[in-house]
Amino acid sequence: MTQSHSLAAERLTLGYGDRTVVDSLDLTVPPGRITAIVGANACGKSTLLRSMSRLLSPRAGRVVLDGKEVHRLPAKELARTLGLLPQSPVAPEGITVADLVGRGRHPHQRMFSRWSAEDDAAVAAALGATDTTALADRSVDELSGGQRQRVWIAMALAQQTDILMLDEPTTFLDASHQVEVLDLLTDLNHERGTTVVMVLHDLNLAARYADHIVALAGGRLHASGPPHEVLTEESVRAVFGLNSRIIEDPVSGRPLMLPIGRHGTRPPAPVGTPPSQEPAPAPAPASKPH
């Protein structure tokens, strides 16, 4: 099992040029849990993740890991505790799966040190955990989207961090591969105690897989907490400007968001139809004898 770490943003303000993207945000990441960050496009989700992983310095406020400011920590020291998988990472052309996963060992190596048996073991364990051992000698260029994403996660696992942050890990994946990746991250959380923080666009996947949801609106924290507290019709309207119905997911028991647009809704029942009854479907045409 991994160690438990405290990670928090305190009065954090972030931006680019003259534009403020995240404004005076306070946020605590529950250790050992899965946290999903959700919100409309350009609300600051990815920017927040970049700052919490030390890639973007704050204009004001700070990010604190175990009582220490992240932006004051040496890069390698931070990388032994916290790993970030950015959106749509690009692998060097022709690199094999094993070599890419091996790059996750960089924070643990010292200058002039050789590759060790411990490095071999970490890579083998990461390949095994992500079910990519059979792909070790293949070029990353040859892999499907789902396979490639599992390999990137394997690289992050080889880094052996206790906190894993992912920016839209299901982007550009079809439905089956989205579930495959999120199941893998859930396994890592349950079996190793890894703290997972990920940006997700799909509210229903966030509600199904996350223990804790952070909803951003206009660069500010709108709500945070368990899915049933955060995913409400009022929150969906405030965060996304979208009308919706929230029902219980028949598979997970978690909230399920049904968007309501101008089209695609059930037509109204004919006048005089009791509310508890729906018009009977038209009978199927009788089949002709052969």
Contact between 109 and 122 (Cβ < 8 Å): no
What is the dihedral sign for C-alpha 209, 210, 211, 217?
A: negative
Kindly tell me the sign of the dihedral angle through the C-alpha atoms of 127, 131, 137, 138: negative
pTM assigned to the model: 0.85
What pLDDT does 190 receive? 95
Q: Using an 8 Å Cβ cutoff, are 165 and 53 in contact?
A: yes
Tens digit of each residue's pLDDT, the chain (290 residues): 677 899 999 999 999 999 999 999 999 999 999 999 999 999 999 999 999 999 999 999 999 999 999 999 998 889 889 999 998 889 999 999 999 999 998 876 665 567 788 899 999 999 998 899 999 999 999 999 889 989 999 998 898 899 999 999 988 888 998 998 899 999 999 999 999 999 999 999 999 999 999 999 999 999 999 999 999 999 999 999 999 999 999 999 999 999 999 998 787 777 776 665 555 555 555 555 55
Q: Provide the pLDDT for residue 213.
A: 98
Q: What is the pLDDT of residue 282?
A: 55
Q: Which domains does the chain have, with CATH numbers?
A: 7-259 (3.40.50.300)
